[in-house]
């Protein structure tokens, strides 16, 4: 099975419990490469991003996410589709080239059916 990249949303004061919940839900051996990031504009808001080898269940407040490694950009498919439509005059063209450097160290998440939001993030050191 191919690893799946997941993103769990939490808060700074709930981070230890959330990390424990992640390991309980997916088992310690199935969770890899966990990194936690805080939102620049809302430092109490935190996301934990990690790979799992199992995808039978999904922890609450968790979505599947993708990553553009070169720019440390995390994004949902719905957010990228919205971004492409906005940048490409309303046309969803899967071959449209995104200038990823414009989204360095950010998360792009869907915001409704046709919009997206950009969240600047920094890695937590703990």
Domain that holds residue 15: 4-123
Give the pair of three-digit tokens for residue 94. 């899967």
Asked whether the beta carbons of 42 and 11 are under 8 A apart, the reply is no
What is the model's pLDDT at position 22?
95
pLDDT band at 126 (very low <50, low <70, confident <90, very high): low
Buried/exposed 72-85: b ≥16 CB within 10 Å, e otherwise: bbbbbebbbbbbbb
What is the model's pLDDT at position 55?
63
pLDDT tens readout for residues 71-125: 999 999 999 999 999 999 999 999 999 999 999 999 999 998 889 999 999 999 8
The structural domain count of the chain equals 1
Q: Taking the C-alpha atoms of 31, 33, 34 and 38 in order, what is their torsion angle to the nearest 10 degrees?
A: -160
- pTM equals 0.92
What lies within 8 Å, CB to CB, of 24 at 6+ separation is none
pLDDT tens readout for residues 21-65: 999 998 888 999 999 999 999 999 999 999 998 767 789 999 999
């Amino acid at each position: 099975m191919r690893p799946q990249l997941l993103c769990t949303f939490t808060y700074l004061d709930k981070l230890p419990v959330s990390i424990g919940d992640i390991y309980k839900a997916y088992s310690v051996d199935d969770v890899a490469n966990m990194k936690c990031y805080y939102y620049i504009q809302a430092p109490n808001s935190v996301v934990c991003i990690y790979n799992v080898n199992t995808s039978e269940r999904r922890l609450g407040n968790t979505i599947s996410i993708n990553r553009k490694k070169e720019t440390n950009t995390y994004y949902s498919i719905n957010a990228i589709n919205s971004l492409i439509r906005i940048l490409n005059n309303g046309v969803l063209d899967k071959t449209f080239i995104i200038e990823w450097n414009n989204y360095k160290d950010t998360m792009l998440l869907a915001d409704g059916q046709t919009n997206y939001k950009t969240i600047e993030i920094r890695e937590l050191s703990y």
